[in-house]
Structures are given as C-alpha cells and as structure tokens.
Structure 1
Amino acid sequence: MIRTLKPAQLVFDIVVATLCLLLVLYVSALSPSLGTSPVAGIGMSAALGLRRISPPIALGIAWLTSLVQVFADIGPDPSNLAILPVLYATASYGDRITKWAGLVSSGVGALIIAIYLPLDAGYAPDLGSVSILAQLPAITLTMLITFLSFLAVFVLSWTFGLLARTWRASREAGRARIIAERQRLDAEREAAREHERTRIARDMHDVVAHSLAVVIAQADGARYAKDADPGAVGTALEAISTTAREALADVRVLLAQLRHNQGESPQPVLADLDRLLDQLRASGLPIRFEQVGEPVAVGTSQQLAAYRIVQEALTNALRHGDVAKQVDVRLDWADELGIRVSSAILTPEHPQGIGHGIAGMRERAELAGGWFDAGPEAGRWVVRAGLPSVFEPVTA
C-alpha cells in the first residue's frame, strides 16, 4: 500500500525522519555508555519517514528494528518514540488489515517490553541473593505495571489515529453531502427550466396552430365569396387581421420568455371560450356549445387546460374535419369538469389523431390532475377529457 502525499507533506516527513536520526547519532556520540546503536536509530527514523507513505511498511520496519534491539541487547534510545506516530499512522491511514495489525502490535509490543525490561540486567530490581520464588512477585508486579503503562501509551496513540480517520471520513461525507445537495438543486432547476420550455412549446403550438387554421379558413372563405358576396371579403379580412394580431402578441410574449426567462405567457380561462367559439364560427366552422350542470370554480391550471383542449380539438376539426357538419362542444359539471368535443371526420385516410396535438392535450389533462381520451366513434372524431373540480397542483 503506497499512498500519494502532497509535496509539503513529503518534505515534512523527510525532515522529521532526518532530525530523529541526527538526534540518535548525537545521543550515541555523547553517551556511549547507554548502549545505543545507530542501527536502531536508522530503522526507527526510516519507519517514521514512511509512516504516511506506506503504513504497513513503516510498521514492519518498526517491528524489525525493535526485534533487533531485543536480540542484540541494544538499549532504548529517543528513536523508539517513533513507534507512537507509526501506530497513529496505521489507524489513521492504513487499510483494514494494517489498522487492526497496529492495534495487535500495541498489545504484543507492550507484552514484549514488559518481559524484556525487568529481565534485562540494567532494569531488573536489585534482589540480591533472594530465591527465585521470592523474586517472582516483584518481577510479576514490575511486568504488569510495565505492560499496562506501555499498552496504555500505544493504544492511546493508535486511538488518536482512529479518531483522526473518523473525523476525516465525517468531513469528506459532509463535503459529499454538500456536493450532492448542490447537484440535486441544479437538477431541480434544470427540470424546472425544461418544464417551462415544454410549457412554452405547448403554448406556442396551440397559439400558432389555432391562429393559422383560422387565418387559412377565413382566407379561403373570402376567396370563394369574393364574387358572390363582396361584403364577406371585408369581414373575412377583418377576422384575419384580428386573429393575426392576437397571435403575434401571444408569440411575442412566449419568445420573450424564451429569451429572458421572465414574464407571463397568455393564460386564457373558461370565460374566454365564448370569444374562441365566435372566432371559429366566423371561420366557417358550425359549433354547438352546451353546458350541463351548474358551473363551479376551478383552479387556474384546470381552466387553462380546459381552454387549450377545446382550442386544439376545434382547431383539428377545422383543419382535418368536415367543416360542413356541426361540431358539438359540451362541458359537463357533474362530478368533475367533463369535456367532450365531437366533429365529423372528413375522410378515413385523414384522421385527426396524427401530429403533436393529441399528445399535447393528453399531457395538459394529466398535468392538471385529470384524464384524456380521443378516437373515432360512429364516423365522428370524439375528444374526451376530465378535470377535477378541486385540485391542488404539487409544486417542487
């Protein structure tokens, strides 16, 4: 296991390891009687320098150096303190095996020290000629105290490393949560923008398709009636002008929204249905409108959906249906706002269900909490939709 360190960290570890080695060499030269050896200093300094680059290698070097000290009867020196940062590194930076190997090393190392120090001639108590049995309690007590002392120091160092590892993991998890939250907010904003673009595209389709259908119908009517009824031409041109101006105003608002992401698009409601029906009647489409039941207040989203569904259904009837036959528009206020638009099919080869209009009507109904259905029925094209009378849209 080799870890990548930042240049500053690498330089710091090299400097610390070098200072440790220089300190051991200085102590050895100053007090030769202590029985220290440069071998121990070199090994422990190497372990100290490698503790963050490779905790398992550092632990192995520390163990090898300690065993050499024991079997070669080399006394301890300041470099032996390097075992503490090495144990810290095994818990803080090591993998799972290295981490637990550091904890086991704390116990085993404390036990070896507890056995080695009291039995070494320089550290055993002065018992004189007392028998082995008489020495046993003192030696055992010395070993126990030594073991517990070193175990506490080693385990404490290892625990500090584990706490540092846990703190780092918690900090990284916190950063990950912040990043995830930012990504979630970005995704929600993008979804909202996409929803707004889709809504504007639907409105653009409804406005342009309806207005062009009316304009074409009026133009055709004026062309056919210019000889038989010259007065109808003026009426048709007036209707074309009015429809085109309204469509241009609506399209400008929608384009401004796309450009600046602000402003309000046209929001027609059920009260505007009369104007819509009159406009289409003037285009030559015979329409019979009826309402069943007592109208109740509905939300703006339901009114907009109902208006757009009726508008799209009548526009399809004008473009694809038999305009010589009556179109029936019915609003039913029984349990919900029911919509039914029935128009005559011109030819079976040109059904009204092609294009984007059907999909747009269905999407509008579903977004308003309702349902939608369209299809041929007894030679007519029937559009049905149901919208809840009371509906609270879910907002993000």
Structure 2
Amino acid sequence: MIRPLSRMALTLDIVGAALLLLVLAPMSLVFYGPGAGNPAIGGAAVAVIVFASVLMFGGVAIGRLAPGLALAAAWAGAALQMLAGFGPLPIDFAILLVLYATSAWGTRRVLWWGFASALSGGLVAAVYMVIVNGVAFGTGTGWEKVTAGTLLLIVSVMALGFAWVCGLLWRVVLRARRTRAAQLQAESLAVEEQERVRIARDMHDIVAHSLAVVIAQADGARYAAAAKPEVATEALGTIAHTARGALSDVRMLLTQLRHRQGDGPQPTLADLEALFAQVRQAGIEPRVTVDPMPPGEPPGSIQLAVYRILQEALTNAIRHGDGAVDVHLAWLPDRVDVDVRNTVKGGASVAPGGHGVIGMRERAQLVGGSLQAEHRGAQFVVHATLPIGVSE
C-alpha cells in the first residue's frame, strides 16, 4: 500500500498538489459556482467542489507514496462530483495525475486497477455527460445521443488512457535505470573481486617465497653459528636482503590497494637469475635448462606468468623438497613450456589444491594457458604451457 519515499520527494509532491489545488479549485468555483449564469447553484455546491478538490488533490499528494490509496481518493472525489450533478471541472486534471501515478509507481495490481479505471472511468464519464448533463448533437434524438456518447467515450478513454500510458512509459524507464544500475554494480563487484584475487595472488607469491627463503636461511644459520660464524653472518645478510625485497614488494601492493592507479611488482625474465640465486642461498640447487632459447622478446604478461609460476614451484621445492630441483624452459615459436620437478622429502606432501597451486593455475589461465601440478612417484611435477601471442 505504501512505498518507501524520501522526505524531500514527499514534500515536493504535497507542495505541488497544494499549488494545483489553489489554482484549479478557484477556477472551478468561478466557472461553475454561484453567480451569474448559475443561479441554481448555492453554497452547498461550493462545499461539494471544495471537498471533491481536496479528495482528488490529496490523491495527487500521495500518488508516489501510496498509488492505490491515491486512486481510491480520486474515485471518491469524482463520485462526489457526479452525485452533485457537476459536469467536467478543471479539478478533474487531478484524475489524470493519479492515473499516471498508478502506472508509474504502483504495484502490479495497482497498475492494472489504474488501467481498468481509465476504461471504466471513460465509460462512466461519457454516459454521465449524455444522460445527466444532456450533452447531445442537434435536436438530441436517440441516435444523436448515441453518437455524442460514442465520441465522448473515445475522447474520455483517450485522455485517461494517455495519462496511464505516460506513467507506464516512465515505469519502463525507471526499471531500465534500475537494471542498468544493478548491472554496473555487478560489473564493479566483479572487477573488484578480480583485483582482490590478483593482489592476493601477488601477495602469496611474494610473501610465501620470501618467507621460505628466510626460514631456510635462519635454520642454516642456527646450525652453523657455533662451527662457522662466517656462514651464519652470510645467512643473516641473505635474510635481511630477502626481507627488504619482500617488504618493498608488499608496500607496492598496499599502495595499489589504496590507489588503483598504482603499479604492483612486475618481474620479468631478467629477474629469474636473482630468483635462482635466492633459491640457492636457501640450500636448494636448481638445475636450469633453457632449450630452445626465446626467439625474441616475449610478451610482458608471459614473462610475468613464467616468473610467478617458477617462484611458487621453487618455493614448494624449498618447503617440501630434498635439496635439488630441475627446471626446464622450452621457448617454442607459439608457446613456452615450463617444467619444474623436485623429489619430495619422505612423508611430505604438496596439496594439489593448495593456495600456491591454485595461484599458479590462475596465472596460466590468465594468459590463455594451462597448468598441471601432481605427484608422480617420489617427485612433485609442475608443468605449464603458455601460448605466445603478438609481442607487447
């Protein structure tokens, strides 16, 4: 019955209805009230016009708030006007506004009640004007009354129907706006979710790898501190360097979270040697083979994907491997194949559905490739195929 409506909108509706009442009610009194040409109309008739006006424009005032109640008020005002014997008055403009409101903001039931009111109201108005007000053509014979009634019916239904159709069109516009707003919101949420996933993936790659190196170095330094202090000192230096690099990358990611235009860390193939050096410092010896070599400068997205996949695969080797890992890169004309194998420590297991493996698979899928990560006997094998398109 009652729709949610802001206080400002309700105030504007009430003020607008009051202004129309102050303009159209006096016009109705001037043309149809007591005075010259209307000697039979007295003060009671004036009261009827005023009361009917209040009912109709009261409906206009609550047209958006409660279209159903507004329609009932308009019908009550129109019925009172006809019972008093008045013909069409300027205040009847309120009926058009109420019909507009029923189709623009009413529920489905109120919408069709408005449609039925436009048809039945046109019929009632035509019959009333012909029978009660005596509207007819010529001498007013039966056929002339039928003709006049038919024309009045058409005109009345067209006028009332036009108001209802205008409201229906506005209803369609409002629905299209809501649909568009919902679509934009869904797209915005999807973009934000993709951004969160990307940042989470970068954060995992950076932090997991750096912490794996730090832990391996810290364990080595603890065991070597007593026998070889210089080794412990070197390990501490590696820990500090790795931590500083990770902190710098994390700060860049946090900047990207605060400011969308910020660029996150974007490593390339030139950074692979530094990655392999970090892995060696953690006590893992990567045996790297590149055959064939890159035919040219690979696209930046491919370079980033190769780096991140290798970073995560080597991190798993540090955490679960036995000290050695085989890395093979094959730069073919249309794709690059990445293969990382390491023997898993006795009893250790790498979860194929873990965050790291999921991140690697997403990296491959983002550039149109695929990735498999699985246990093959005592080894854990990561194999990725990334298509190479036009160079960026």
Q: TM-score normalised by the shorter chain: which range applies?
A: 0.7 to 0.9
TM-score by length of 2: 0.73
- Give per-residue Cα distances to partners, 1:238-286, cap 9 Å, x unaligned: 5455444444443443444445555433322233323322332344323
Match of 1:154 in 2: 156
Distance 1:376 1:303 in 2: 26
- Give per-residue Cα distances to partners, 1:262-316, cap 9 Å, x unaligned: 5433322233323322332344323322233353453322222222222222222
Match of 1:327 in 2: 325
Give the total of aligned pairs.
363
Relative distance call for 1:274 and 1:225 in structure 2 (3 A) is farther
Supply the AA of the counterpart residue of 1:81: L
CA contact (8 A) 1:91 1:162 kept: yes
Match of 1:81 in 2: 89
Distance 2:182 2:305 in 1: 36
CA contact (8 A) 2:210 2:246 kept: yes
Match of 2:378 in 1: 379
> Does 297-306 or 145-154 show the bigger shift?
145-154
Distance 2:391 2:45 in 1: 78
Match of 1:92 in 2: 100
Whether 2:75 is the aligned partner of 1:59: answer yes
Mark the runs of 5 or more structure 2 residues left unpaired by the alignment. Answer: 60-69, 103-109
- Give per-residue Cα distances to partners, 1:92-121, cap 9 Å, x unaligned: 23432243233233234324433556699x
Distance 1:184 1:268 in 2: 32
Distance 1:14 1:156 in 2: 24
- Give per-residue Cα distances to partners, 1:11-66, cap 9 Å, x unaligned: 346546763675478x4355565x44655554454333322513334335534653
Supply the AA of the counterpart residue of 1:8: V
Supply the AA of the counterpart residue of 1:114: V
Relative distance call for 1:51 and 1:221 in structure 2 (3 A) is same
SS of corresponding position for 2:89: helix
CA contact (8 A) 1:84 1:157 kept: no
CA contact (8 A) 1:316 1:352 kept: yes
Supply the AA of the counterpart residue of 1:28: P
Mark the runs of 5 or more structure 1 residues left unpaired by the alignment. Answer: 70-75, 126-137
Q: Select which of 121, 125, 137 maps to 1:105.
A: 121
Distance 1:10 1:141 in 2: 41
SS of corresponding position for 1:322: strand
Distance 1:58 1:266 in 2: 67
Relative distance call for 1:327 and 1:149 in structure 2 (3 A) is closer
Q: CA deviation at 1:149?
A: 5.2
Whether 2:284 is the aligned partner of 1:290: answer no
TM-score by length of 1: 0.72
Whether 2:314 is the aligned partner of 1:307: answer no
Rg larger in 1 or in 2?
1
Q: CA deviation at 1:174?
A: 5.8
Distance 1:240 1:65 in 2: 92
5 Å-filtered alignment, 1:1-396, equals: 6-12=13-19, 15=22, 19=26, 22-23=29-30, 27-28=33-34, 30-31=36-37, 33=39, 35-36=40-41, 41-52=46-57, 53=59, 54-63=70-79, 65-66=81-82, 69=85, 80-82=88-90, 84-85=92-93, 87-89=95-97, 91-94=99-102, 95=110, 96-115=112-131, 125=139, 139-140=141-142, 142-144=144-146, 146-147=148-149, 150-151=152-153, 153-166=155-168, 168-170=170-172, 172-173=174-175, 175-176=177-178, 179-180=181-182, 183-184=185-186, 186-187=188-189, 190-191=192-193, 193-213=195-215, 215-216=217-218, 219=221, 222-223=224-225, 226=228, 236=235, 239-240=238-239, 242-258=241-257, 260-296=259-295, 297-323=297-323, 326-333=324-331, 336-348=335-347, 350-353=348-351, 356-390=355-389
